[in-house]
Structure 1
Amino acid sequence: MVSKYSLIFVFYVFVFCDSSYVPNIKQCQIADSECTKKWMQKFFIDNAEKGVEEIGMPPLDPLPLNDITLKIADLIDITLKEGQIAGLKDCEISKFQTNLQARRTNLDIMCDVKLEGNYKAFSNNPLVQELLKGFGVNDDGNKDDLTLTGDGFGKVEIQKLKIGFEFYFKIVKRDGETYIKTRPKKTKYTFDVVGDIKFFADKILIRGKDFTKQILDVLNQNWRFLMSSFGNHVSDKAVEICALYFGRFFDNVPTKQFLLDDLSSYVKE
């Protein structure tokens, strides 16, 4: 399914893209990973909040998230409405290496991010119902009595989310200029939380009674187990965003603007 954010990118591409854009960054040899890492970090910091209209790159931080459904360990369904991800502009790039022969770039980033917004939650999972009995909720045989619902404001803070990307590309020539054409469908990634995760929410109800504190205690004490499923949703979104964000730059800025190398011999006809 194509996300709303992807459609926004497509709109920007056709309406605003301008190949005359010249980034304010230092040119590097493509094999100089330290140099390329520094200019990419600078470009990211300088443009994450405002975007770059000339090449169809909308603002990245904060990033709107609407009608996003998350399933946490197949136990609780959460739908985030009118939400956002904040903190992406402060991501640190720890690795940016390109293997020109393999047409591959490896990018590692570390971020402290915050997801927040209005949410709805629902669960009638038997495991959750067994857990609820421990909170003093008596089961009188009516399963609906132990249905968990939530409808309020929620927030998830992720400290030190580490994502490693493996991007693939090809070198193309347009109007006499060489460009790096990204191949987002081939992108691979790994993720881990080096720090911690904290869940915040209000109005988590069972039988109309507020059990917010008890549920949050369970989530916060078991976040690493929950991350095995919840983390995929977050990382999938991060991969989609980064692939589009960096792709918008490379697809629209000639390599001579940021590389000292002549890549003409690598052009794929």
Structure 2
Amino acid sequence: MFVSGLLLLSCTLFFSDASFVDSLTKCSIKDNQCVINMFQKMLHDIGEAGIPEFDLVPIDPMKITNVSVNVLDAVTLTIQDGVIKGFKTCEVKKYSFDPDKQLEKQQIFCNALTVKGQFVFGGSSPMLQSLLGGSSVNGNGKAKIKLEHVTMNLELPFTIIKKEDGDTYIRLIDKPKYDYDLQKAVFDIKHLIIGDNDLSQAANTYLNSNWKTLIKSFGKTFVDKGLEYFFVFAHKFYDNVPTKLYIEEDLTPYVLS
């Protein structure tokens, strides 16, 4: 139950100073709504300062560098310098917690995630001949991709450990398994230069008319990148904050011998 809130809490929330840990509201592992309320309050009320004492930087916007995706086996697009915005406004809609199996399932809803950045691309295929008039292309431009109404279903395996200080801590033992769905993707390509021609308008028309097919090619790449950051940051949070600071119950009975 608490894993879902704290996973995203540690990644998409940003604490202004060390006193934040002392101000955490404790929740019972049986009180799901308490955790959701705590999580949502953090998402909306706390700024984007990161957690300097845990070496955690703000991730909304989340910086991405040299992330490459393949579009329809025709073009490799590399975002050289970009950002993903919108994670801090995501909401936990559903979750279940099994302390015996040490597995939590959760559903996270993001009204909109936006990817913006400079990109370069290149490739060759018969499809490009009909679309752009040539069988191979190389170029660069600026892109904005808005992913609307994104729903992610995650499974989070964890274990409870006791450190030498005598306190219990949560430890994630594997990367989350997930699937996702979205209602719409909107593309805004600018300065798409191929040779001496600006093909931005043609590209936008094609991309926005075929987004359902195209998003299968690269949508997962951006979700994967977000979860990659989440997992790294969650580890740092859990490794530094004992469960007694945010969970009412003594979790010692769940520690594996």
Same fold, judged at TM 0.5 (above) = yes
Q: Identify which range, 250-259 or 170-179, moves more after superposition.
A: 250-259
Aligned amino acid, residue 129 of structure 1:
Q
Residues 98 and 105 in structure 1, CA contact (< 8 A), matched pair in contact too: yes
Does residue 150 of structure 1 match 2:149?
no
Change (3 A) 1:93 1:235: same
Q: Which residue of 1 aligns with 2:7?
A: none
Q: Which residue of 1 aligns with 2:254?
A: 266
Does residue 233 of structure 1 match 2:238?
no
Q: Which residue of 2 aligns with 1:10?
A: none
Residues 158 and 193 in structure 1, CA contact (< 8 A), matched pair in contact too: yes
Q: Which residue of 1 aligns with 2:82?
A: 83
1:156-193 Cα distance to aligned partner (Å, 9 max, x none):
111111112111110001111001111233x2001010
How many residue pairs align between the two structures? 239
TM-score by length of 2: 0.84
Q: Which residue of 1 aligns with 2:116?
A: 116
SS where residue 49 of structure 1 aligns? coil
Q: Which residue of 1 aligns with 2:53?
A: 54
Q: Which residue of 2 aligns with 1:29?
A: 28
Change (3 A) 1:208 1:23: farther
Does residue 199 of structure 1 match 2:187?
yes
Mark the structure with the bigger radius of gyration: 1
Cα displacement (A) at 1:62:
0.9
Report the Cα distance in structure 1 between the residues aligned to 2:96 and 2:49, rounded to whole angstroms.
26
SS where residue 187 of structure 2 aligns? strand
Residues 47 and 59 in structure 1, CA contact (< 8 A), matched pair in contact too: no
Residues 181 and 251 in structure 1, CA contact (< 8 A), matched pair in contact too: yes
- The ranges of structure 1 where at least 4 consecutive aligned residues each deviate by more than 6 angstroms after the TM superposition are none
SS where residue 29 of structure 2 aligns? coil
Residues 64 and 81 in structure 2, CA contact (< 8 A), matched pair in contact too: yes
1:90-145 Cα distance to aligned partner (Å, 9 max, x none):
1122124321111112222222111111111223122222333xxxx3xxxxxxx4
Residues 115 and 144 in structure 2, CA contact (< 8 A), matched pair in contact too: yes
Residues 161 and 191 in structure 1, CA contact (< 8 A), matched pair in contact too: yes
Q: Which residue of 1 aligns with 2:5?
A: none
Q: CA RMSD in A?
A: 2.2
Does residue 184 of structure 1 match 2:183?
no
Report the Cα distance in structure 1 between the residues aligned to 2:19 and 2:212, rounded to whole angstroms.
46
Report the Cα distance in structure 1 between the residues aligned to 2:45 and 2:22, rounded to whole angstroms.
10
Cα displacement (A) at 1:45:
3.8
SS where residue 242 of structure 1 aligns? helix
TM-score by length of 1: 0.81
1:60-113 Cα distance to aligned partner (Å, 9 max, x none):
111111111111232221111121111211112212432111111222222211
Change (3 A) 1:182 1:23: farther
1:21-51 Cα distance to aligned partner (Å, 9 max, x none):
7253321111222211221223344556211
Q: Which residue of 2 aligns with 1:130?
A: 130
Does residue 253 of structure 1 match 2:235?
no
Q: Quote the sequence identity (%).
A: 30
Residues 36 and 96 in structure 1, CA contact (< 8 A), matched pair in contact too: no
Residues 63 and 86 in structure 1, CA contact (< 8 A), matched pair in contact too: yes
Q: Identify which range, 173-182 or 86-95, moves more after superposition.
A: 86-95
Aligned amino acid, residue 162 of structure 2:
K
Residues 146 and 206 in structure 1, CA contact (< 8 A), matched pair in contact too: no
Structure 2 segments unaligned to the other structure (5+ residues): 1-17
